Chains A and B, each alone.
Chain A
Amino acid sequence: MFVLPPPPRYPSQAAYNLAVQNGQAAPMIETNNILSHPTGPEYQLVVGEGTYTLKDDLHLATPPPHPSEAPIVNPNPLATTPQPATAGTKLSLLSLSSRSSPPFLYRVGTNQSTRSNLNSSIQEHPSEGRASGDQFPPSSDGGYTSATGSARATLSIGSAPAFGEGNTFLSATSKDTGKRRKPKNNIAKSNSSFISRCIVHENLAKRLQDRPAEGYFAFANINRAFQWIDLASPQKAEHLTKILFTKGHCLCHDINQVTKSQSHIDLIMGFSTGEIIWYEPISQKYTRLNKNGLINATPVSEIRWIPGSENLFLAAHVDGSLVVYDKEKEDFPFSPDEHSSPTNENSETANGESDSSTKLQIDKSVHSRNQKTNPVSFWKLSNQRINAFEFSPDNRHIAVVSEDGVLRIIDYLKEELLDVFSSYYGGFICVCWSPDGKYVLTGGQDDLVSIWSVAEAMIVARCQGHQSWVTAVCFDPWRCDDRNYRFGSVGEDCRLLLWDFSVGMLHKPKTSSVRQRGSISSRLANPLQRAETPNTSMFRSNSVVSVDGEYEHTIQHDVEPRATTATLPPVMSKVIDPDPLCWLEFTEESIITSCKSGHIRTWDRPRDTSDSDVISSST
């Protein structure tokens, strides 16, 4: 297909002419996405359950630099001018049907809340949208001492309270749910200097109407472009809409699973300039938030809707702050000085030292009375770049990983830091929860995927198999049951690895000798012992924070030596792309991966019929 670009709306004709004179006529020609169907044994993943085969490879077109920008090509390799932040292609998947929801494995006699009906379709991370009515105990919240699942008793789980519940100042906004509110500005007619232009497919309305209900939409960022693609369409390569921004790169985006419908999609995007755009693709409307970095001027590295909320979303800025915004509120300049002082009393009492890494610095609480404007809340975790976070399936916790190699488990409803774990070495890049909320996976610059047990507050295993940094991890909920878990990971080594771990295997006590070592500080109790003490768990299931002082609860957990940590080998490892990978997702039918240069690859799950042929041909 060839889309004739609309007339350029560059800031000045002069800049445009200059670009042309410099031999950059190229910017006017929009390259197209390319769909290819490579076949052969190198495009197959052989695992125990069968063979995954590459369905297609969609290569997103990388947009040329904006003509008004001075060419960024600096031939001096030592130039100290900082590079603008950018990110590889990541996808937000959206399915409007309820059929393809991940199996809720542990839900026997489910008592779903009404809200969960909306949730029950595929989410960007299948675990994320777990309805709060899930009967399975949110182990990170209740203090279950073992992972044997015995402790599903005491806690009445009900639905997790909404974020900021009880704050009347906050709840004032979300009335009138009958009709979805749309953003204000039309993106196609925008004269904003932030948006270069928006290319809409000529048959957009028709395509939206004709498409099957089951298929996935994908929203993908590449460089300064942002595309809306219909993965179910035979014309997959033709984007539904494509937005080109002038200089900001979209680094992260998320779809609101609560508000989505045939006529409404709430999409939130975080940018390298720190700005955030709330975008409704069907009506082509948008609103800018944190405009010009009014609230926080550092790039947004991760952004997600708060589960169950129509308006609120959480953005991680690279300066180490987590900020909750309301999509409909005005920005107001924020300075942390006005903040309410109380931080995490919990940590202060437990850990005598005023180590800022063990408490959550709340610069603005969700319970603040001033909720007329953004930010809704503002937490400062550290000074280090936050690389990723994810909400727990029970909607009570977030797992946050950062560049300094720290994993934090935060009870965001209570605004309280629960646990701090450290990587073996190097920064953490990605994080995800297991579908049942028991485990957290991290991937990082130590080339490892680490499995953490939230309930026991300890590392479970280190998964060794990547040959470079691990950039994305994700559970495959279709291949998880109550004792066995399947997850995948991708990395800078261009590899996709699949892993299986089972609870029984992991809880085998490791009997190798523990020696005292200098660099592994032994200041705190052995996490293993801690998990065994009933007191600790008592505390953790206790909702009253103030009693914890007497218990030996430690928030900061030390690095476990290599000799005492279980390791897990992958069940499959394969180079699946010429470029470093950066994103991974499981759907019912396939594994979808994407790489830094914009290749979106869909790997079909094994089919029973063709299994034998495929295997024989691949070997």
Chain B
Amino acid sequence: MSGIFGIKKWGGVASGAMSPGVTSPSKGKKDAEPEPEITPLVKMLQHAGPIRNDGSDKFYGMENDQYAKYYSYCNSIVQALYYSVPFREHVVKYPPHSPYDTPNGHPPIVTPIRAPIQNGAAVSPKPKGISAAEAMKRRAAVNAGQPVPAQAGQKPEDKPDSPEYKKKHAMLAGPILELTYENASSYGMEESTFTALKDIFMALIANNSRTGVLSPQRFLEIFKRDNEMFRTSMHQDAHEFYGLVLNAVISNVEANSHRLKEIEPPRDDHSLALSMKAAVTSAATAMGLASGTRSPGTGWVHDIFEGVLTSETKCLTCETASQRDETFLDLSIDLEEHSSVTSCLRKFSAEEMLCERNKFHCDNCGGLQEAEKRMKIKRLPKILALHLKRFKYTEDMTRLQKLFHRVVYPYHLRMFNTTDDAEDPDRLYELYAVVVHIGGNAYHGHYVSVIKTQDRGWLLFDDEMVEPVDKSYVRNFFGDKPGQACAYVLFYQETTVEAMRQEMEAEGPTEVVTATKQQETANGHPQPNGTYPASVSKPVSASPPEENREFVSLDHAVSSPLPMSNHTIPRILPTAASPQVPILDAAKVKTKEAKEREKKELKEAEKARKVAEKERQKAEEQKKKEAMQTRKDLLKSQDAEVKRALAASKHSAAEEEERRKREVGSSTSTSETGKENGHAEKGFARGLGRAHKGSKSMSRKSFGFLGSKYGEAKTHTDDSNTAVEGDSGPQTPEKHSKSTKDRFSFSGLGRKKSNLI
């Protein structure tokens, strides 16, 4: 079949690539002629209302290397971050105004639109990174046409319905946002991981198309500039990446606000008197310190991601109990077979004996003593990232193996392990993103993320491909299904009971679709994403839910500490975090109205959908036979593809390695050892500050897999550490703790807020 079939398909593709005009992306693919290849995503977005300007309805894939999935760790995490509403909003708003914009009054937020829409071989940009250039070349080759289809029979991407095919298609359909230059200066910041991330977010928001592909190349380059161990072509750890990015964002933002404060204090173009301002600033600083943040205006990152762990240690010799608080950006939890996330979290807080090599330095007794320790959560973060420790050293400590334990995770969560004095200990969380690792061990594999978007349900983000999936799809990654795909990082965000109920009500049609789909499968119909809930595809219903969401998210803010930005530069207030408390009542009223409206619409939509569905089912019955055939082909092809995908990193490792070497060789003089540990150490040596900070706030276990062995005793070099932390002790960061102490206290002391008793 492959020969003719492939070429025929290819024809369709080519024409599709030409049609969504490069010049008019606003028209986009949505109104494009009825191509044969309307992706489920595009289908879902048909009849969507006007594009919103908060970026909540942008669904972009992210480009990866075509053959080896080197960057999927980045793509999966960046997507998860993007769809965190508070984070995205704050990133967009963050530098409230840069010194360069102030004369104009309004900062030109639209700058990232400069990102060229690379559709086709036409415009080849200035070669920025080698790999980017290579990617462009490849893209050009693909678009040029003929050579690729010639070898079509063998290529997985030529089989329709395969991930490769869909990804290629996404690339061809475009628009492809290539962030080839930085906009850091327009934010009034130095180029950094934060600005690069902001570039991505801004570009997505500014673009006129709802769908497309974005190249994170520039972001990665900047990130790698600061994190050497990510410069290799090795398979990287998405969770580690997450921690480093978050810490980089924190330090970038803090550094910037410091710079702003110190370099140009007289920023009084507004009507505030100098004295007033000074008072406010000092008050803000005080407040900032009190609430655990260092720099005013930067508290948002902490507010969103940071929680506080209390480790209560009781010396068994003198019975003295001591408490120590430390902040965390995520929780790394050990897994057990046939358990739940809830249970793993319980274990995390279970009592633990500090004995033998792990003894506790008791101030009271003045020596290493046996002690009892337990970790509880004192302050819950708004976004709770749970890192499931699926990678564990083998018995002989030579290799990281992957644990395929079945660990179930619910859609909603509350934490059992809070301290008695914790604020809002029954806080309700909802699952909003799952980063999935596919692969047999820690050294190769692929990451994808499954993310709940504000009003488009759950989507699968697999590099360039974005596809709507059913809610139950989220449960495919407990770890017990064949295919080596397991949830690796779970992102929970705070929500309220009301919001949850409302959502459940609105959610209904999806379940119905599930059932219908099940029937389809039973009939052997290959179309996986035939329909989508009417609530979703109906044009009108798009806006009210959005309203709701916005208010709902504001509701959350009530139970959380007041954002620091309120006290900083008064002028930011309205934009940054203003509508939180005051509007609340109005918001609730509105929500109710909107709710009713929404419900009516839902009902209507439901009717319409049912009629449509019946018709569709008839049609499907007719297609059944051919469908069976297609399905068989598909299954075969998928078989091949997955094998390929899984082996991909191995296959082209050599190629990539070479490329990398050239790249690295030019910038760094260090030679590559190619070994994981080697990289790791170097990474710490070079990007020490960041990495170390990471270890601090990423909690004790985050870096466990890098250098230290699980369960190994820790070195007690640092005397200021009264409590010997952690069973899985991150050794490497600990070693460096002294040398980085200055830096740490500079930016991180406030967060640390250790109260040694």
Contacts and interface: CB of A to CB of B under 8 A. Distances in A.
Interface stretch (B100-108, B238-246, B495-503, B735-743): B495-503
Contacts of B558: 518
A518 B485 contact: no
Contact of B507 (A384, A468, A517): A384
A382 B484 contact: no
A80 B498 CA distance: 30
Given A319-B515, A518-B427, A468 B496 contact: no
A252 to B, nearest CB: 15
Given A71-B635, A519-B496, A467 B339 contact: yes
Contacts of A519: 424, 426-428, 494-497, 559
Interface in A212-234: none
A318 B516 CA distance: 11
B438 interface: yes
B518 A85 contact: yes
A73 B635 CA distance: 8
Nearest to A493: B338
Given A447-B340, A517-B426, A70 B511 contact: no
Given A425-B410, A519-B494, A79 B339 contact: no
Contacts of B473: 80, 82
A353 interface: yes
Contacts of B413: 425-426
B511 A424 contact: no
B414 A424 contact: yes
B412 A426 contact: yes
B521 A425 contact: no
B643 A75 contact: yes
Interface stretch (B196-204, B353-361, B384-392, B475-483): B475-483
A77 B476 CA distance: 8
Given A424-B414, A493-B343, A272 B518 contact: yes
Given A80-B467, A274-B515, A517-B559, A492 B508 contact: no
A425 B342 CA distance: 11
B360 to A, nearest CB: 28
A446 B631 CA distance: 38
Interface stretch (A53-61, A171-179, A555-563): A555-563
A562 B425 contact: yes
A70 B508 contact: no
Interface stretch (B221-229, B365-373, B522-530): B522-530
Interface string A422-444: 10111100000000000000000
A422 B497 contact: yes
Nearest to A468: B340
A425 B412 contact: yes
Contacts of B505: 356-357, 382-383
A468 B339 contact: yes
A382 B508 contact: yes
Contacts of B485: 77-78
Interface residues of A, number: 65
A133 interface: no
Interface in B520-577: 521-522, 524, 526, 528-529, 556, 558-559
B563 to A, nearest CB: 15
A466 B408 CA distance: 13
Interface in B631-670: 631-632, 635, 638-639, 641-643
Give the interface SS of chain A, mostly helix, strand, loop or mixed. loop
Contact of A77 (B426, B484, B526): B484
B426 A468 contact: no
A469 B340 contact: yes
Given A425-B413, A468-B408, A79 B508 contact: no
B469 interface: yes
Contacts of B519: 273-274, 293, 297
Contacts of B512: 298, 319, 383
Nearest to A562: B426
Nearest to A335: B610
Most chain-A Cβ atoms within 10 A of its Cβ — which of B338, B346, B462, B481? B338
Interface residues of B, number: 80
B410 A445 contact: yes
A154 interface: no
Interface string A68-90: 01110111111111111100000
B472 interface: yes
Contacts of B524: 69-70
Nearest to A299: B515
B410 A446 contact: yes
A559 B426 contact: yes
Given A77-B642, A426-B411, A446-B342, A82 B501 contact: no
A405 interface: yes
A95 B485 CA distance: 45
B134 to A, nearest CB: 26
Interface in B447-469: 448, 460, 462, 467, 469
Given A77-B642, A298-B512, A517-B426, A82 B518 contact: yes
B504 A467 contact: no
B495 to A, nearest CB: 8
B628 interface: yes
B93 interface: no
A14 interface: no
A108 interface: no
Nearest to B496: A519
B90 interface: no
B497 A84 contact: no
A525 to B, nearest CB: 16
B328 to A, nearest CB: 20
A520 interface: yes
Contacts of B676: none
B401 interface: no
Contact of B428 (A297, A337, A425, A427): A425
Interface in A61-120: 69-71, 73-85
A297 B617 CA distance: 12
A42 to B, nearest CB: 16
A298 B515 contact: yes
A14 B600 CA distance: 51
B111 interface: no
A472 B389 CA distance: 29
A261 interface: no
Nearest to A512: B420
A478 to B, nearest CB: 29
A561 B424 CA distance: 10
Most chain-B Cβ atoms within 10 A of its Cβ — which of A274, A293, A518, A558? A518
B20 interface: no
A75 B642 contact: yes
B521 to A, nearest CB: 6
Interface string A376-393: 000000111100000000
B596 interface: yes
Given A405-B412, A425-B412, A84 B426 contact: no
B497 A77 contact: no
A126 interface: no
B338 A77 contact: no
Given A82-B472, A426-B410, A426-B413, A384 B338 contact: no
Contacts of B299: none
Nearest to A77: B483
A404 interface: yes
A447 B409 CA distance: 11
Contacts of A469: 340, 408, 410
24 contacts: A69-B524, A71-B635, A73-B635, A75-B483, A77-B438, A77-B481, A83-B521, A297-B515, A318-B511, A356-B505, A383-B512, A468-B408, A469-B340, A517-B425, A518-B556, A518-B558, A519-B494, A519-B495, A519-B496, A519-B497, A519-B559, A562-B416, A580-B338, A580-B406
Given A78-B460, A425-B428, 12 more contacts: A84-B518, A298-B515, A299-B515, A299-B518, A319-B512, A357-B501, A382-B504, A382-B508, A467-B338, A468-B408, A518-B556, A520-B497
